[in-house]
Amino acid sequence: MDNQEAIDVQYSQLLDILTADNLTEFREVFFELHIYEQGQFYLTLTEEERQRLYTYLSPKEMADMFDVIEEDEEDVDIYIKEMKPKYVADMLAEMYTDNAVDTLNQLDEKEVPKYLSLMDKESAREIKHLLHYEDETAGAIMTTEYVGIGAEQTVKEAMANLKEEAKTAETIYYTFVVDQDNTLVGVMSLRDLIINDDDAIIGEIMSERVIAVKVGDDQKDVARMMKDYDFLAMPVTDYDEHLVGIITVDDIIDVMEEEATSDYSGLAGVDVEEAADENPFKAASKRLPWLITLLFLGMATATLIGRYENLVSEASILAVFISLITGTAGNAGTQSLAVAVRRIAVKDDKDSGFFSLIMSEILTGLVTGLVTGVTIFLVVGIWQHNFPLGFVIGMAMLFAITVANLAGSLIPMVMDKLGFDPAVASGPFITTLSDLTSVLIYFNIASLFMEYFI
């Protein structure tokens, strides 16, 4: 029996115990599970079964579980609504502040004050503080449960402080050092505290080179910094350098997943987080806006082909290669788009300037277009015994791929410069746009060389 099968068996046994209303045995078996497994078991329950579970677990025990599942579960609002308001408030107060804020952000704004009013004042104050930060910024994803020590403290005093705060801190592997004004002045690892003498002054042994982010910094930039520096936690300061919170690596993993999902959704022109059992009408409503937009853009392509009806009637062989040219150009544009979005997502100080990148993409398009064009020239020439026609198809392929390649890289770069999400320049949009430009290029070249291949 593999691990998953063993867990499934345990879930089944646990459900039987829950249904039998055996509180003592249920708690004994339930808390043998890993906290993640507890959360997964909770997600398999019906509402009636969850209602019974709420009477078996304290708000603190439920908070530990929600700290794990809140980021990955879209139905958090449904679970919250089926609990008693006071139970919810106590649970949120016991959760890590950043996770409690994420949970509240998934609820109706009108519901949030109700839960805050039922909490203890200190928890409500911390949560309100984080709720005010703009979404997708360092302030919005940071936690206020961190260990801070004073520069004037001794190691012995700092260790005592660490032991006290470790009960609620999200991580203790880094301790951040502040002065009397709460200004961030240094950092120490847990190892640094352990190996130094008890009487050593923190300000004399701390590392003054501390990398921090501001509360308003974009979460993507924060994620990139933590990846570059290989940090487990990063301090967050306000604009006066006062320490206000920290961002931990688990929050950054969530950010990376969120950004990757957003980019992929943009490239595909659809919400890729659609649930398998989602209502078909609801799923269709999410996909239709892009499809309708692309439909009208596709109609422009059809209209353009109609303008060259006389050309096609004189040389019907041209119609055979329309889909070949538009499809290949669309694929090239999508490739270029994917590379451009990736390049923007992982910006590097060593990256070339805007115009250098554009020239690079033009040259890349010319090279790929030339190789593809020569290939199709030979194929069509031999296949149709008509090398002039092969030349027309090859030339059209060369310019169509070059233009598509340029559009696929230029559009997301311009959108990024203007402050928009470059992933919005989706693959279907670039493909349809490439169809339009490819048809225009193809028939104009064909009209110039018409007399040579008829």
How do strand 174-178 and strand 148-150 relate by DSSP bridges? parallel
What's the pLDDT tens digit per position in 256-290? 776 665 554 555 555 545 454 556 766 666 666 66
Within 13 A of 267's CA, how many CA atoms are on the CB side? Answer: 19
Distance CA 165, CA 168 (A): 6
Sequence-ordered list of residues with C-beta below 8 angstroms from that of 32, at least 6 positions apart, any chain: none
The reply to whether 394 and 292 lie within a common domain is yes
For residue 399, the model assigns a pLDDT of 92
State phi, psi for 76 to the nearest 5 degrees: -55, -40
Q: Is the pLDDT of residue 421 over 80?
A: no
For 281-339, the pLDDT digits (tens) are: 666 666 666 667 767 767 777 777 777 777 877 777 888 888 888 888 888 888 887 77
Instruction: Looking at the structure, tell me whether residues 190 and 327 fall in a common domain.
Output: no
DSSP code string of 337-355: HHHHHHHHHT--TTSPPHH
Is residue 46 situated within a structural domain? yes
Regarding pTM above 0.75, the answer is: no
The answer, yes or no, to whether residue 157 has pLDDT greater than 90, is: yes
Q: Give 386-416 pLDDT, tens digit per residue.
A: 888 889 999 999 999 999 888 888 877 777 7
Tell me the residue range of the domain where 131 lies.
Answer: 3-141
Tell me the one-letter amino acid at 286.
K
The answer on 81 and 205 residing in a single domain is: no
CATH number at 170 reads: 3.10.580.10
Question: Looking up tokens 């045995």, which residue turns up?
Answer: 25
Same domain, 298 and 320: yes
The last residue of a domain, from among 84, 112, 141 = 141
Task: Output the pLDDT for position 88.
Answer: 93
DSSP state at residue 424 = G
Percent of the residues in the chain that have a pLDDT greater than 70, as a whole number: 84
**Claim to verify: residue 17 and residue 43 sit in the same structural domain:** yes
Question: Residue 200 above 80 pLDDT?
Answer: yes
Residue 241 CA to residue 213 CA, distance in Å, equals 9
Cα-trace Rg, the chain: 30
DSSP one-letter code for 146: -
Distance, in Å, from the CA atom of 32 to the CA atom of 38, rounded to the nearest integer, reads 9
Residue 271 resides in a domain: no
> 217 pLDDT band (50/70/90 cuts)?
very high
pLDDT grade for 372, boundaries at 50, 70 and 90: very high
Which tokens belong to 80? 């919250």
Establish if 324 belongs to a structural domain: yes
Query: How many distinct structural domains can be found in the chain?
Result: 3
Tell me if 257 is assigned to some domain: no
User: Does one domain contain both 242 and 284?
Assistant: no
Q: Quick one: pLDDT at residue 435? A: 84
Give the CA dihedral 73, 76, 77, 79, nearest 10 degrees.
Answer: 140
How many residues comprise the chain? 454
